[in-house]
Chain A
Amino acid sequence: MTDFIKVENLVFDYIKSEDESTFRAIDDVSFTVEKGSFTAIIGQNGSGKSTLAKNINGLLVPTAGKIYVDGLDSADPENIWEVRQRVAMVFQNPDNQIVSSVVEDDVAFGPENLGVDPKEIRKRVDEALKSVEMYEFRRKAPHLLSGGQKQRIAIAGAVAMEPECIVFDEPTAMLDPRGRREVMNVIHRLNEKGITALLITHFMEEAAQADKVIVLDQGEVKMIGTPLEIFRRAEELKALSLGVPPAVDLADRLRQRGIEVPQDLLEVEDIVRYLCQLK
């Protein structure tokens, strides 16, 4: 597989406008995201996750270091629109990213800005809405929908731009469990269709569903690996004020009581299936 996003020694400083003092949000971060993969970035509040996401599609410009999206330097103003078209973004608050008071008009916003042909926009909007299962709501007003539905509209808005990668910046943080499940299902489905997914989250069970997990702390990468590799290191995660997915935690406790549980069970369903066989 080829690398779609390449982050090289990224540094990002926030500058306070009052006294020009700087705060280093990201400190020498390097990693790559493979085309078509599903990568999760975890870390506690203030670890630099969102700042990192905004650097990737040029909403913020790196203080030092480089980010290449499909070979394009994201800091180059020449590339900015191309980068943003290839790496779409979904934000945390579903209310604050919907532009229009009609669902389908909102989904059309991205392609309209890109100057796509009206007929083609129509096609993309319909397809995007179907891919998030919100087609029947296309003429509704977003403020009448639930949080999970609104977030799926926001995802459809990203999909309609036909990006190769979507960065999800804590898309489930403000949703109820049901909305969270809906959104995670959509992310999986899009990933299966070949869209590279980069999920920023603080829910460990969501990170467990990814191919690769990156752990950030105070602007630095602390661990990179598969979910299995990462969540085996429960003690280290706890030291970073992070936990492990509930299933991993349960398996650990069972092991402490002398019940043999395999290492590769990351999700609740897996462990339920295993324990039911046990008897």
Chain B
Amino acid sequence: MIRDITLGQFYPGNSWIHRLDPRVKIMVTLLYIVSIFVVKDFIGFALAALGLAVVIAISRVPLKFILRGLKPIFILIAFTFIINMFMIKGEVLVSFWIFSISREGLRMAVFMAIRLILLIIGSSLLTLTTKPISLTDGMEALLSPFKRFGLPAHDLAMMMTIALRFIPTLLEETDKIMKAQMARGADFESGNILRRAKALIPILVPLFISAFRIAQDLAMAMEARCYGSNSKKTRMNGMKICSRDIAACLIFAAFLAMIILERILL
């Protein structure tokens, strides 16, 4: 049960996309998001969607899995759709009571919905095909040029690594505390929201205390393993840009050029 939860939403696989360097994937995803905002007509969207479809096909992540990621933000999409549809004035198509739908409004609504959907699928592809730990490594590498401005890139990455590592441990701890409280008659399920929130206090307090204790233990164990020594750190699985990463960059550059040309020419 509680310990079976999957971390993040990584879909294990060994496709071409999975094996790409995380740095390349992060940069490509960021640029893809930018490119979606460059697009201003439906032909552009068709191109962007086609590109995405190709990537999905190569990654072999089931479509069902990808669409599931859309579920939580479905309300957001519906909301922007409705607001856009009713709020933008223009040539009236249908009108009733105080509401009216304009041609421009409808166009804008569809436009924004497509943009949001592409945005979310595009960025979720990154987390679906990249292990959380490689994602952390990639971010560290991309942020490291900012080290000279005082950005602690390595410490940030270390914090993320530890957070990922201790999610299951803390869940287990929560489970243990909940059971201990339940054994002594605590009731977490009945009553209104306020009462239930109140019932969580006896869980949160011991959980915080145990989190601090774990942190102290871990800090000691890390120090014992020479964390913080002055010698320059190395990585066992150093990231290396190989031919497939260069190919991916070139293909993406071609895609980007197409999007920009489409915007300028059409």
Size of A's binding interface in residues, CB under 8 A: 41
Q: At the interface, is chain A mostly helix, strand, loop or mixed? A: helix
Tell me if A110 and B234 are in contact (CB < 8 A).
Answer: no
The CA-CA distance from A108 to B232 in the complex, in Å, is 15
Q: Is A91 in contact with chain B by the CB < 8 A criterion? A: yes
Tell me if A110 and B225 are in contact (CB < 8 A).
Answer: yes
Within 8 Å by CB of A113, from B7, B164, B229, lies B229
Q: For chain A residues 126-144, which have a beta carbon within 8 Å of chain B?
A: 141-143
Tell me if A109 and B217 are in contact (CB < 8 A).
Answer: no
CB distance from A101 to the nearest CB of B (A): 4
The CA-CA distance from A114 to B225 in the complex, in Å, is 9
Q: Is A117 in contact with chain B by the CB < 8 A criterion? A: yes
Q: Is A196 in contact with chain B by the CB < 8 A criterion? A: no
Within 8 Å by CB of A116, from B217, B222, B234, B238, lies B234
CB distance from B130 to the nearest CB of A (A): 14
Q: Is A266 in contact with chain B by the CB < 8 A criterion? A: no
Within 8 Å by CB of A96, from B7, B168, B221, B230, lies B221
Q: For chain B residues 13-57, which have a beta carbon within 8 Å of chain A?
A: none
B-side contacts of A97, CB under 8 Å: 217-218, 221
B-side contacts of A157, CB under 8 Å: 225
Size of B's binding interface in residues, CB under 8 A: 33
Tell me if B221 and A101 are in contact (CB < 8 A).
Answer: no
CB distance from B163 to the nearest CB of A (A): 10
The CA-CA distance from A125 to B214 in the complex, in Å, is 25
CB distance from B1 to the nearest CB of A (A): 14
Q: Which A residue sits closest to B223, measured CB to CB?
A: A59
Tell me if A143 and B169 are in contact (CB < 8 A).
Answer: yes
CB distance from B12 to the nearest CB of A (A): 11
Q: Which A residue sits closest to B169, measured CB to CB?
A: A95
Mask: chain B, 40-81; 1 = CB below 8 Å from A; 0 = not = 000000000000000000000000000000000000000000
The CA-CA distance from A125 to B217 in the complex, in Å, is 23
The CA-CA distance from A241 to B27 in the complex, in Å, is 63
Tell me if A104 and B236 are in contact (CB < 8 A).
Answer: yes
Q: Is A248 in contact with chain B by the CB < 8 A criterion? A: no
Tell me if A143 and B229 are in contact (CB < 8 A).
Answer: no
The CA-CA distance from A111 to B236 in the complex, in Å, is 9
The CA-CA distance from A110 to B236 in the complex, in Å, is 11
Tell me if B133 and A100 are in contact (CB < 8 A).
Answer: yes
The CA-CA distance from A89 to B220 in the complex, in Å, is 10
Tell me if B234 and A118 are in contact (CB < 8 A).
Answer: yes
CB distance from B227 to the nearest CB of A (A): 5
A-side contacts of B165, CB under 8 Å: 98-101, 142-143
Q: Is B124 in contact with chain A by the CB < 8 A criterion? A: no
B-side contacts of A118, CB under 8 Å: 234-238
A-side contacts of B161, CB under 8 Å: 99-101
The CA-CA distance from A43 to B236 in the complex, in Å, is 40
B-side contacts of A59, CB under 8 Å: 220, 223-224
Tell me if B236 and A105 are in contact (CB < 8 A).
Answer: yes
Q: Is A88 in contact with chain B by the CB < 8 A criterion? A: yes
CB distance from B43 to the nearest CB of A (A): 44
CB distance from B83 to the nearest CB of A (A): 41
CB distance from A12 to the nearest CB of B (A): 15
Tell me if A99 and B234 are in contact (CB < 8 A).
Answer: no
Q: Is A202 in contact with chain B by the CB < 8 A criterion? A: no
The CA-CA distance from A243 to B220 in the complex, in Å, is 31
CB distance from B222 to the nearest CB of A (A): 6
A-side contacts of B169, CB under 8 Å: 95-96, 143
Within 8 Å by CB of B168, from A121, A122, A143, lies A143
A99-B226 contact in complex given A112-B236, A116-B234, A125-B236, C-beta closer than 8 Å: no
A-side contacts of B214, CB under 8 Å: 95-96
Tell me if B218 and A96 are in contact (CB < 8 A).
Answer: yes
Q: Is A262 in contact with chain B by the CB < 8 A criterion? A: no
Tell me if B235 and A112 are in contact (CB < 8 A).
Answer: yes
A-side contacts of B230, CB under 8 Å: 81
Among B132, B224, B237, chain A packs the most CB atoms within 10 A around the CB of: B224
Tell me if B225 and A113 are in contact (CB < 8 A).
Answer: yes
A101-B133 contact in complex given A91-B217, A114-B231, A143-B169, C-beta closer than 8 Å: yes
Could you give 17 example pairs across A and B, Cβ below 8 Å?
Answer: A54-B220, A59-B223, A81-B229, A84-B223, A84-B226, A84-B229, A91-B220, A96-B221, A104-B236, A108-B235, A109-B227, A111-B234, A112-B234, A113-B226, A121-B234, A122-B236, A161-B225
Known: A109-B222, A143-B3. 6 other contacts (CB 8 A): A84-B229, A96-B169, A110-B226, A112-B233, A118-B238, A141-B168
- 8 nearest A-B pairs in the assembled complex, by CB-CB distance: A97-B221, A96-B217, A115-B231, A143-B168, A108-B236, A110-B225, A113-B226, A81-B229
Using CB atoms and an 8 Å cutoff, list the residues of chain B in contact with chain A.
3, 7, 132-133, 161-162, 164-165, 168-169, 172, 214, 217-218, 220-238
